[in-house]
Amino acid sequence: MHPDHDNGGSDALPLSGRIGKGPSDLLREEVLDPQFRYEAEHLLPHYIAIEKALVAEYLRMGLVTAGQAAELRGLLDSVTAGQLLAGREANMSDIAFSLERHVETRLAEPVAAWHVDRSRNDLQACAQLMSGRERLVSAAEALLAFGRAAGGLAGRYADDPMPGYTHLQAAQIISPGFYLAALSEQVLHTARRLLATYDGIDACPLGAGAMSGQELAWDRGRLAALLGFTRVQPLALTSVAYRGWVLEITAEFSVFAVALSRFTTDLMAWGSSAYGYLDLPDELSGISSAMPQKKNFPVLERIRGKSAHLSSAHMDAVLGQRNTPFSNSVEVSKEAGSQLSFAFETFESVLRLSTAVLEHVRFDTKRMSEACEREFLGGFALANALTLREGVPWRRAQVISGRYIVAAMEAGLAPARTDAGLLKRTAAELGFELTAPESVLAGTFDVRHALNAPRSEGSARPEAVKAVLRAQDEELERLGEEWAARARSTRSGHGGEEHDSAAVHA
């Protein structure tokens, strides 16, 4: 037997000549084994794809024969996470060493050049980035599904008036559709930013070696193509040192989570007994253990609470990387990214929950309309009419409108019961003689008229909202196609039949 042929057990040849003993039980239990299990579960397919790409390059450079390349590929394809986990103690609880020895000890004859001129540094950087790209595609798909739910719900309620609130006070008449179009726009904005993030990080680090490059003439462009990347990371140092993509992804998650928390806060308020504007089915509701009259919506609290974790995950990555040397290190490559998987899981969980809410929520259109009728929401329109029809300077018109509303409230008038005489007297007190107060008041405090009154693009007028929603639908479709293309590119680095290299994926 060749001296390198062993069974991978305790009598295996050492992996290093620098130290004579493997990691302590403490290091294994606290650090190495948890890391190994994570990589075996999440990164092993990427490590195998990378190794197969390297075999293709060894074959091209004439360092292995076609038969050796075929044997190496076959052994790589046969590797399972369970096999590597079983042999981890003999391999310093390191997945790269374990994979190497698993294959090496099963070769019919040693392949001397296999892993020559290689390093773990670019290997793990590449595997982590491949996993990040793959999970980013999945996150984007969940985001777009949420966007479709938001747009669909907005379209169903674009014609139904409700009070819009500023400073928690009823301000102007809007519709749930108008409000949800804003949520849909936030989704599109995030989907575009994540797409730019994906394209920005879609650069293959493989072939950089440990830090300064490699001695053999590796075709890095070919390696990138074999693994589904669109380009090569130009500089070797950046390839192994850079984990800014973790910051970029979690930053976008955090920004979106902040926005989502604000929308969720509004839904929580509108679902409360004080407003009663919306309801969720029993399956998405909760009860009180002591107050039988209550129907709670803890799913909204979960969404808002979970959204905070996304900002925490981003800050964890920031603090883990800051002030570290710009080179490969365990601190950056392992510890600083330890919350990335959690961030992906939480982002998709929040989106699934939020999508379920939007797919099942029902707005009480009668109650919302009645709330509009109780409020003097036409004050702004009245001031406009005073200026445009009676020539009252704008700021004076604001004062007259406000004083009229106060006087009407004191007189016990409902908003729709306009009083032209009261308006005329109010204006006269400020030195303005109105010629047609009835015309000024006409429709000003009518709820349906108020919803249809705005004429500017992007307003709450139902037709304007529907125009925005149509444009959003088109953009959502375009983004869906863009992300589908990224998904195909990502999958092409995992052994799909559509890949153009039989050397890697045979």
Phi/psi region, residue 2 (left: phi>0; alpha: psi -120 to 50; beta: rest), is beta
Helix (H, G, I), strand (E, B) or coil at 158: coil
Q: Is the pLDDT of residue 7 over 50?
A: no
Question: Which tens digits make up the pLDDT trace of 87-105?
Answer: 888 777 788 999 999 999 9
Please give the pLDDT value at position 497.
34
Q: Is the pLDDT of residue 499 over 50?
A: no
Beta-carbon contacts of residue 427 (< 8 Å; ≥ 6 apart): 386, 390, 392, 400, 433, 434, 437
Q: Is the pLDDT of residue 2 over 80?
A: no
Report, as an integer, the average pLDDT of 138-158.
98
**DSSP label of 500:** S
pTM confidence score: 0.91
- Give dist(CA 233, CA 236) in Å, integer: 7
Q: What percent of the chain has pLDDT over 90?
A: 83
Please give the pLDDT value at position 292.
78
Higher pLDDT pick, 288 / 102: 102
| Domain spans, the chain | 25-116, 137-218+230-366+464-485, 378-444
- Give dist(CA 133, CA 43) in Å, integer: 12
Report, as an integer, the average pLDDT of 406-414.
97
Question: Which tens digits make up the pLDDT trace of 350-387?
Answer: 999 999 999 999 999 999 999 999 999 999 999 999 99
- Give dist(CA 455, CA 449) in Å, integer: 12
Q: Is the pLDDT of residue 4 over 70?
A: no
Report, as an integer, the average pLDDT of 15-30.
80
CB 434 within 8 A of CB 423: yes
- Give dist(CA 392, CA 426) in Å, integer: 13
Report, as an integer, the average pLDDT of 78-93.
84
Kind of pairing between the strands at 278-279 and 362-363: antiparallel
Least confident range of 17-26, 208-217, 318-327: 17-26
Q: How confident is the model at residue 133 (pLDDT cuts 50, 70, 90)?
A: very high
Q: Is the pLDDT of residue 16 over 90?
A: no
Average pLDDT, the chain: 92
Q: How many CB atoms lie within 10 A of CB 107?
A: 16
Report, as an integer, the average pLDDT of 26-44.
89
Q: Which structure tokens are listed for 422?
A: 């009261």
Q: What is the CA radius of gyration of the chain?
A: 32
Q: Which structure tokens are listed for 95?
A: 């997945």
The dihedral over CA atoms of 48, 49, 54, 58, expressed in degrees to the nearest 10, equals 90
Report, as an integer, the average pLDDT of 385-406.
98
Helix (H, G, I), strand (E, B) or coil at 141: helix
Q: Is the pLDDT of residue 420 over 70?
A: yes
> What number does CATH give the domain 137-218+230-366+464-485?
1.20.200.10
Q: How confident is the model at residue 319 (pLDDT cuts 50, 70, 90)?
A: very high
Please give the pLDDT value at position 165.
97
Question: Which tens digits make up the pLDDT trace of 204-262?
Answer: 999 999 999 999 999 999 999 999 999 999 999 999 999 999 999 999 999 999 999 99
Question: What interhelical angle do 120-156 and 462-491 show, nearest 10?
Answer: 160
The dihedral over CA atoms of 358, 360, 361, 366, expressed in degrees to the nearest 10, equals 130
Beta-carbon contacts of residue 65 (< 8 Å; ≥ 6 apart): 59
CB 197 within 8 A of CB 248: yes
Q: What percent of the chain has pLDDT over 70?
A: 94
CB 356 within 8 A of CB 434: no
Residue 287: CA count within 13 A, CB half-sphere = 7
Report, as an integer, the average pLDDT of 250-279.
97
Q: Is the pLDDT of residue 30 over 80?
A: yes
Q: How confident is the model at residue 13 (pLDDT cuts 50, 70, 90)?
A: low
